[in-house]
Amino acid sequence: MTPRRVIALLILALTSCGAAPQPESEVRDWPDRPNILWLCVEDMSPWLACYGDPTVPTPHLDRLAAQSVRYSNAFASSPVCAPARSSLITGMFATRIGTMHMRTGNPSKAAIARDPEAYADIPSYEGVPPAFVRCFPEHLRAAGYYCTNNAKTDYQFKAPATTWDKSGGKAHWRSRPDGAPFFAVFNHGGTHESRAFPKAKRAPRVVDPNVLAIPPLYPDTLAVRDALARTYDNIARMDGWVGKKLAELEEAGLADSTVVFFYSDHGVGLPRGKRSPYDLGTRVPLLVRYPDGRRAGETEDRVVSFVDFGPTVLSLASLEPDARLDGVAFAGRHERAGRGLAFAHADRFDSEYDRARSVSDGRYRYVRNYRTDLPHLIRNAYRERLAMTADLYALAKVAQRAPSHWQCASTERPAEELYDSRSDPWEASNRIDDPSLREVAARLRAELDRWIEATGDLGLVLPEKRMVAERLWHGGVQPKTAAVALRRANGAVELSSDTAGASIGYRAKGAKSWAVYRQPIELQADVTTLEVVAHRIGYAPSRATLSVRDEE
């Protein structure tokens, strides 16, 4: 089965009305503090058997899908990892908090190798969400959850020390205190774009590149076939990783008390997928398995976005998400109706600027291009390590080519694009001028306008240095979080910071992780000092060691 059929099957039912709050009986029966496990893979569209594509065997994911709710309209908010992950961890759109450019503080070595001056006018900075925003695991930790991340962060800002109990290559839920529920994230990089580079070590060969059906977007060349085959081989190997993570739960007797999410951080890492705000770059697989087997094997057509993931985890843990977040919970005690729309953006990718916005209701996708002078495939040095990229660039000079190659061959873009993803799953036929879709175009155009206005879209504030200086770090200099002040009263210790939105952490000397401060704390008699940290996201943190045994 071809990837085209995957997408066609994926969107059988494409209009979503959003979920209503759960029936009272279901809310009453919901467990208060289930464990929650995220299995995140990189750079992968829903090219899986459970979504209709049996090109490679994925038995572990087949089994998980049979036990899960399969979301057919799940979307990344950005077609590239760091901006998308900033939305996952905050529940906010990257264009609202200044994290839409890839990346904000880590120049691309490939771009600099091609042009040493590539970043001459690009500042290094961190995104700054509104003061009420926290990295959502902090809320879980304050409620008694043990939270681990293994191992990617890439949030476009330095995560406060209060975000995770442990983050790194050895982080695991096994280290939790006895009886503590956990939220654990595991990231798999084996499906990343770079694993399809010619110099990358190959996964065991599962698919024959000579028999693969080529997506109509691409020319049929050896390099295209090789990249597709490597992509599928990496998916097959990834399935084994999923099997191992699920086996760990089962062997520990935790499968019946753990909610499992499986998803990817954005669409496939091939050109016109990654870095492009279309279905191929933003539609992702999402499987959610509940410990009591509820809704096992069902397909859910509700449109969900990455901004909804954090609120949903809080809701599953019986914590009410802040109503000011951009996302809403799509499961758990605090499930709410969704918008039925998924917004995406394309801004700077490494050193190259794009500027496009899109919105999908699951069936129809509207795209607005602010840079009509650019090709659809901007010249990105990192992507050019894929051998197939040169073949796509060459299409612009080919007189006789398939009509479906027009985007990969373009030297400029239309101001607007509209696609019917049901009849045209590769979104290759622009129907913006189709009279029969005039009302659809008008509706989605208006929705995009409302979203841009509501979020204050910082990607439209240029140059980037101006955006940083005027909207994030006033004057362009990173502000510093006010230091922690300590007050002793009635035998307890109170901590505070004058910076609105500061997360405050504390620990006794020798402790490895920071506790989240939310209320006055009572310390053991042998504790004489506390290490403290205050950190508002996007600001520099303040750390100190304070005495807790001075005379009152």
Could you give the CA distance from residue 539 to residue 516 in angstroms, rounded to a whole number? 18
Phi then psi for residue 310, to 5 deg, are -60, -50
Q: Choose among 333, 259, 288, 330: nearest CA to 35.
A: 259
Q: Choose among 471, 72, 144, 42: nearest CA to 298.
A: 72
Who's near 210: CB < 8 A, 6+ residues apart? Answer: 225
Could you give the CA distance from residue 536 to residue 435 in angstroms, rounded to a whole number? 50
Who's near 397: CB < 8 A, 6+ residues apart? Answer: none
Q: Choose among 263, 249, 383: nearest CA to 312.
A: 263
| Helix (H) or strand (E) segment spanning residue 116 | none
For strands 299-305 and 69-75, give the pairing.
Answer: parallel
**Runs of H (alpha helix) within 169-221:** none
Could you give the CA distance from residue 475 to residue 548 in angstroms, rounded to a whole number? 37
CB–CB of 251/258 below 8 Å?
A: no
Could you give the CA distance from residue 272 to residue 310 in angstroms, rounded to a whole number? 28
Structure tokens at 223: 């390099």
Beta bridge partners of 146: 182
CB–CB of 182/145 below 8 Å?
A: yes
Structure tokens at 363: 């069936």
Measured CA angle at 242 (ends 152, 272), to 5 deg? 65
Q: Residue 129 to residues 80, 453, 472: CA-CA distances in angstroms? A: 19, 17, 9
**Runs of H (alpha helix) within 252-308:** 279-282
Catalytic residue, from 17, 40, 50, 81: name it.
81
| Ramachandran category for residue 62: left, alpha or beta (phi over 0 → left; psi -120 to 50 → alpha) | alpha
Could you give the CA distance from residue 201 to residue 210 in angstroms, rounded to a whole number? 20
| Residue reference for tokens 């390099």 | 223
* Residue 81 a catalytic site member: yes
Dihedral over Cα of 297, 287, 245, 236: its sign: positive
Structure tokens at 481: 């979080």
Could you give the CA distance from residue 373 to residue 354 in angstroms, rounded to a whole number? 10
Strand stretches in 331-484, DSSP E: 342-349, 352-360, 364-369, 416-420
Who's near 484: CB < 8 A, 6+ residues apart? Answer: 495, 496, 497, 504, 506, 532, 533, 534, 542, 544, 546
CB–CB of 516/505 below 8 Å?
A: yes
Which residues belong to the active site? 81
